[in-house]
Amino acid sequence: MEEQVGALWHRAITRLSERRHPFAAVTLEEVAVPIGIFFRALGGDGGLQVEAAEASAHGARRGFLQRLAGLDEKVELAWRDERSLRLPARIDLFAERALNRDLYIWLAALAAQQTGPTRDWLVESQDQARRTLSRFPGLRPRYRRLLDAHLDLRPDPRALPADERAREEAIRLALKDPGSVTRLPTARRPPYPVVLWLHPDPELPAGACSDPSGGEAQDIDRDAAVESLGERRRRRAERVAMPEKDQGLITIRMENILTWGEHVQVDRGTDEEDDLERARTAAADLDRISVARDRQASGARLKFDLDLPAESEDDLVLSEGILLPEWDWRKGTLCPNQCRVVPLIAADATPCALPEHLRRTAHRLRHQFQALAPARVWQRSQSDGQEIDLDAYLRFATDRQAGAGTHADGLYRDMRKGARDLVCLLLSDLSLSTDTWVDDHARVIDVIRDSLFLFAESLAATGDRFGMLGFSSRRRDPVRIHSLKDFDEPHGAGVRGRIAAIKPGYYTRMGAAIRYSTRLLAAQPGGRRLLLILSDGKPNDLDRYEGRYGIEDTRRAVQEARALGLTCFCVTIDERGNDYLPHLFGTGGYVVIRRPTELPAQLPVLYARLTA
């Protein structure tokens, strides 16, 4: 009975105090793609990804019913850092769905005008709003509607104490006339959140720094890769001292524990939460995750890192490698000799025939690609050939009759096979994430292997010169480049054997792999040279290459390749590819294969379209 009465009371008081409008809600997942395009179109940083912002406690004055129901303690405000544009995962502040959507648009436009870290929240927020309305006057009617709706939600200044009243009136004036207020009056309580402005004091998220023990190995779980935008939130972190092990909760009365503990020991042993769903819910309830260094040696340790195989079990190293530069986007400089690229070739690859399950598809593709092969054409002015070249003979006879000294060379023509002036290099990602499963019956590495098989069979039918490489990395030394087919090597059982021997490697230092491939491809003769990149995820590695650093270095490597006249195109099976690939390759420089199992058949067809 007590539980039923409590549930009824909770529903009743929540209904009375609720100020949100769930039926008019708009989620970030619905608008993430158009908002990202809109943000970049207004001049926003193209390297930022749209992610959900974490709610934070605002500490402002709340009404009696809100305090009684425990509502409106937190608010989701927009902000941006060097990696992401963070927007509320869900907006249901207004009764009209169109207004909630307009708020996403306004916040994205406002963030595009942010020039650096916020030092004076009031002044800089007004400057951002003024610049936005000045540069994009079409947003003024939308801003006016949002302003009227937001002012209705803010507390009435007449009901506030004198100090809070003066501050609320100043904020209202700053919203109505951006730039008119230069100083915010002080008060005992923080002001009511301004949802039309960016976060006044966003803290560095815990995920903003690269985890030296993380990397791609933590992304193996495919379930974690498909979580929604609303779940992809980052937590604020603080470093604290390690608590004493002997101090626990035994002497504390359990009814005094109101929430989950603030300290979360990272290097836990026996006290792990077995219920993963409950652990996720608990983590979502924490505003701040505290991290401490435990200086006591662990009795047992699981080393979550990847060691290179023994030399006897590894691929054959072809050379000591070459040193390549890397782009440091923070400094804006190309740092020389940062990566060592080591070429390898499978030492135990047994020549083999095409797998049985691919033969029918390969037969169909070969017939289709043979149509791309150039027709036989007459080659004129040859020193020897099937027929006399009448035009050349007439010129020779005329010159001889006129007394000009001529030689009887190039008087024949010959029917020969034409050639497309095109060369292609396929660079395939062989990182550890390719060991994941798709559709519960095939691994990503198996899909990539089948794609390479069919790609090679198709291009062999056209006569185009092509090469194939695979790559993975373990920090910047070494970046491993696996040779699958050289440009001058005929396609056959040996190439198939090396393709069959590929296996998941380590991490994805894509910039170094692209620079190495660019050197090889640029040295090949050809009127058109295509660098085709096959990937299943973002660039990353164990070190600082994780995150924005890897994205910007890869983008720079693509720009360098295009400056040499190469065509760079990326094919990915990463369903989040639209978040970062436009920044790397441009809007027309990539394609996302939604169903990975379709990649083997789609890759040759895509090549045909690119080279038509």
pLDDT of residue 283: 63
Q: Are residues 28 and 76 in the same domain?
A: yes
**Rounded Cα gap, residues 444 and 538, in angstroms:** 15
**Rounded Cα gap, residues 490 and 467, in angstroms:** 10
Domain-terminating residue out of 257, 291, 325:
291
Please report, for the domain that includes residue 602, its CATH number: 3.40.50.410
Q: Are residues 333 and 362 in the same domain?
A: yes
User: CA angle, 280 as apex, 276 and 281 as ends, to 5°?
Assistant: 120
Judge whether 578 lies within some domain: yes
Helices 444-462 and 493-500, axial angle in degrees (round to 10)? 160
Domain-terminating residue out of 237, 257, 291:
291
Judge whether 488 lies within some domain: yes
Q: Are residues 90 and 236 in the same domain?
A: no
Q: Are residues 223 and 241 in the same domain?
A: yes
- Residues 153-157: contacts with CB within 8 Å, 24+ apart? 153/19, 153/93, 154/192, 155/61, 155/192
Judge whether 303 lies within some domain: no
Q: Are residues 571 and 473 in the same domain?
A: yes
Residue range of the domain that includes 541: 316-370+421-610
Judge whether 299 lies within some domain: no
Judge whether 296 lies within some domain: no
Residues 6+ apart with CB under 8 A from 525: 423
**Rounded Cα gap, residues 359 and 356, in angstroms:** 5
Q: Could you tell me the two tokens for 39? A: 């943000």
Query: Based on the number of CB atoms within 10 Å of its own CB, is 507 exposed (0-12), middle (13-18) or buried (19 or more)?
Result: buried
CB 501 within 8 A of CB 483: no
CB 19 within 8 A of CB 153: yes
pLDDT of residue 424: 94
pLDDT of residue 18: 64
pLDDT of residue 133: 94
Domain-terminating residue out of 361, 384, 417:
417
Q: What residues of the chain score a pLDDT lower than 70?
A: 1-2, 5-7, 9-18, 63-72, 117-118, 203-313, 372-378, 405-407, 415-420
Residue 305 is given by DSSP the state: S
pLDDT of residue 397: 81
Judge whether 568 lies within some domain: yes
pLDDT of residue 312: 54
pLDDT of residue 265: 47
User: 304-326, pLDDT tens digit by residue?
Assistant: 455 556 555 677 888 888 999 99
By 3-state DSSP, what share of the chain in percent is helix, strand and coil, each rounded to 5?
A: 40, 20, 40
Q: Are residues 358 and 226 in the same domain?
A: no
Q: Are residues 345 and 494 in the same domain?
A: yes
Q: Are residues 29 and 165 in the same domain?
A: yes
Q: Are residues 443 and 583 in the same domain?
A: yes
Establish how many alpha carbons lie within 13 A of residue 181's alpha carbon, considering only the half-sphere containing its beta carbon. 24
Judge whether 308 lies within some domain: no
Tokens 């989620």 sit at which residue?
A: 27
Total domain count, the chain: 4
Q: Are residues 409 and 447 in the same domain?
A: no
pLDDT of residue 250: 45
Q: Are residues 160 and 63 in the same domain?
A: yes
Q: Are residues 108 and 211 in the same domain?
A: no
pLDDT of residue 252: 47
Query: Based on the number of CB atoms within 10 Å of its own CB, is 252 exposed (0-12), middle (13-18) or buried (19 or more)?
Result: exposed
The neighbouring-strand residues paired with 286 are: none
Judge whether 26 lies within some domain: yes
**Rounded Cα gap, residues 480 and 38, in angstroms:** 39
**Rounded Cα gap, residues 151 and 165, in angstroms:** 14
Helices 577-585 and 28-41, axial angle in degrees (round to 10)? 10
